[in-house]
Structure 1
Amino acid sequence: MSQGDHIRTTAEAHEEAALPQARVAHADPDACTAEQKPLPEAVARKPLEEKSPAEWAYERLILYIQNFEEQLDSEHEIAMGFAGSDTGVLRIEGIGFFDPDIVTFYGMDEEGTKTQLIQHVTQLNVMLQAMPKQTEDATPARIGFRLAADLEQDLSGER
């Protein structure tokens, strides 16, 4: 055995098997994607097998939204389209989940009408999109950072 080899203990192997796996291949070698980032401690704290499909989908959506927003300029905000439907685009104002299998999205459609989409996790299929911000002088809304902070508070028991 070489000096760099490490024999894993049973506990280490079990812990590694419980960690979620993610991988990405991208044409741009400098692209920063959500799959490349380590899971925030608040998300990694609870073992994957203890999460419902809705909770796990909710947490990962927050990570994708936050990563997407980090790449937007000050003239754009995030919106979400729903693949396979004619629902249109939703300017994201919030997301939530209801165990064991429902994820919900709150926001406004392109005409400014209050909108909520409730979706079963097996039907979850969203597209994140950059939209021009609603008003010229306003700071763009960044929901991803609020969602991540809320997730951190939920998991730490603070409120």
Structure 2
Amino acid sequence: MYIGPSPEIQKILRQNAKDRQIEVDASKMELDSSAPQVAYYLYEEIKDYQAKLPNTEDVAMSLVQFNQNITILVNDIGSIGSNLICFHGTDTSGKPLELVQHVHQLNFLLMVVPKTAPEIPKRKIGFLGGDEDEL
């Protein structure tokens, strides 16, 4: 059972939330709301958000699903067919996670979490679409 971040991490997250806001550029998203298009748009937004962070921080997705709060460090984003989005990554303890969600039910928060090892380069987030493994 996931119990959430420690009080120290929560304090850092609250301060980070005060210090920055995310601005979504809806002009990037075409009228096509198929899963591959939405997955690529989300990939671009997460990649842009991550690029703005210092090396001591990383981007994560916070979801409230199944009566619990889940934090995912996304490694790859892809799609299945025309209506399912797939997020592959880990939770904050390193356990692998895969979230498959319908394109019309997407609801998550991009958030900042402290990196466990600031000396390690930023994670490279991949886009899984067609014949491309990563952009």
Give the TM-score normalised by the residue count of structure 1. 0.58
Correspondent of 1:35 among 14, 21, 25: 25
Q: Which has the higher contact order (CA 8 A, sep 6+)?
A: 2
Structure having the larger proportion of residues in strand: 2
Give the equivalent residue in structure 1 for 2:58: 77
Residues 62 and 109 in structure 2, CA contact (< 8 A), matched pair in contact too: yes
Give the equivalent residue in structure 1 for 2:88: 106
Give the TM-score normalised by the residue count of structure 2. 0.67
Higher Cα Rg, which structure: 1
1:66 deviates by 2.0
Paired residues in the alignment total 111
Give the equivalent residue in structure 2 for 1:120: 102
1:137 deviates by 2.2
Residues 69 and 142 in structure 1, CA contact (< 8 A), matched pair in contact too: no
1:84 deviates by 4.6
Correspondent of 2:72 among 90, 101, 114: 90
1:89 deviates by 0.1
1:117 deviates by 0.7
Q: Write the distance in 2 (CA, Å) between the matches of 1:118 and 1:75.
A: 29
Residues 64 and 70 in structure 2, CA contact (< 8 A), matched pair in contact too: no
Question: CA 1:112–1:124 in 2, change beyond 3 Å: closer, same or farther?
Answer: same
Q: Identity of counterpart residues, as a percentage?
A: 23
User: In the TM superposition, what whole-angstrom CA distance separates every residue of 1:114-149 from its partner, at most 9, and x where no partner exists?
Assistant: 111111112111111111113242122142xx54xx
Q: Write the distance in 2 (CA, Å) between the matches of 1:66 and 1:59.
A: 10
Q: Write the distance in 2 (CA, Å) between the matches of 1:142 and 1:69.
A: 9
Question: CA 1:97–1:87 in 2, change beyond 3 Å: closer, same or farther?
Answer: farther
Structure having the larger proportion of residues in helix: 1
Deviating beyond 2 angstroms after TM superposition, the runs of 4 or more aligned structure 1 residues are 31-34
1:53 deviates by 2.1
RMSD across aligned positions (CA): 2.8
SS at match of 1:141: coil
